[in-house]
Each structure stands twice: as structure tokens, then as C-alpha cells.
Amino acid sequence: MSRVLLLFMIMVTVLAGCMSLDKAATGSKQPQKVKNEPQRATAKLIDQTGKSVGTASFEEVQNGVKMELAVTNIAPGQHGLHIHEVGKCTLPDFQSAKKHFNPTHKEHGEKNPKGKHMGDMLNLTVDSTGKANASLVLAGVTLQKGQAHSLFHFGGTSIVIHEKIDDYKTDPSGDSGKRIACGVIQ
């Protein structure tokens, strides 16, 4: 019986040594995520016909998520701009994006005494050539999956441009009209 036990111990030692050599030879270690590595996301916006009209990039910053938006071929003027609660942009009306992203259950708008919810943003101003750029911080939200107020909650989120100006007070959407562009945040 002691020979069997001795043989078993030798085999375990040899196998453990081979595994160590294999890792050392290939240099394979489990990748370690840097704790303070910025989280990033993007969205490709499409219009009601499915044509590409721009992009948005998102990056985790100290007090929320910074968004950079660049769009073309949008009607000149001011347009409501919101994060919606579902990451789905089904043509032609984008109703699949559902309501505004509102994990704190507030009302709509900068000027609403009961607002504002986390999906609210300032209006997007499109120039006479149909182009617009915007840079802003979505305070209180995160890109960290599994965290409260994450844009990557179950079902995801999307960014939506509306046809009219947001009045910053009318609940639930600022009276901003139809959805004219949409992009899934991923």
C-alpha cells in the first residue's frame, strides 16, 4: 500500500511541476483588470430610414459618464436629447427604446421642481448644415455593469434625438416630439 501512495505522490509532484513550467514557458497569466481603468462605450446613431447619422462615445469619469456626440444630416434647430431605458432602436419610430432612463424615479426636466431624471440632457443645437457636436457629463450614472445607475443594466440603454426642442419641464419627455435618431449604447 505504501508503494501505491508513494507513486501517487510522485505523480502529483511531477504534474504540478509541469503545470508551473507550462505557465512560465508561455508567459500566460490571467489578465488583471486595472482597477482605475476607464470604462468606455459607443453608440452608432441611425435615422428613421436606417441611415447612419452619427456617433456617440461614452467614458467613465470621476462624477459620471462623459459623452461626446457628433451627428450629421439632422434638421437644423434645437432637438431634445435623451438616454432611453432600453438598448434597442427598431425602425421607423424607435419606440423600442421605451421611456427615458430614470432609475431614481424622478420627473422630467431641468426646470421641473420634481426632476430631473438621469436620462435628461440639454438640447442639441444643429447648425444650418445639419451638423452638431456636443460634449457633456451625465452626472450620477456609470458604465460599470452591475452597479446602480449603470447604462449597462439588464436590457441596456440607447441615446435618442427628438424632432423638437425639449422644454425642460413637461413630464415625461419635455414635449420634444417624435424620435428621429437612435443609437444603442454598447
- 41: helix, coil or strand? strand
Give the tens place of pLDDT for each residue, 2-52.
555 444 455 545 444 544 444 444 444 444 443 445 599 999 999 999 999
pTM value > 0.85: no
Share of the chain above pLDDT 70, in %: 80
pLDDT band, residue 118 (cuts 50/70/90): confident
Q: At 22, which helix (H) or strand (E)? A: helix 2-26
* pLDDT at position 22: 42
Sign of CA dihedral 85, 88, 94, 95: negative
Rounded alpha-carbon distances, angstroms, from residue 115 to 13, 40, 109: 65, 27, 5
Structural domains of the chain in order of their starting residue, each with its CATH number: 40-185 (2.60.40.200)
- Residue 13 backbone dihedrals phi, psi, to 5 degrees: -65, -45
* pLDDT at position 9: 52
pLDDT at 122 over 80: yes
Rounded alpha-carbon distances, angstroms, from residue 151 to 3, 59, 77, 84, 125: 61, 11, 28, 9, 24
DSSP string, 57-86: EEEEETTEEEEEEEE-S--SEEE-EEEESS
- Identify which of 109, 134, 129 has the alpha carbon closest to the alpha carbon of residue 119: 109
Contact 140, 24 (CB under 8 A): no
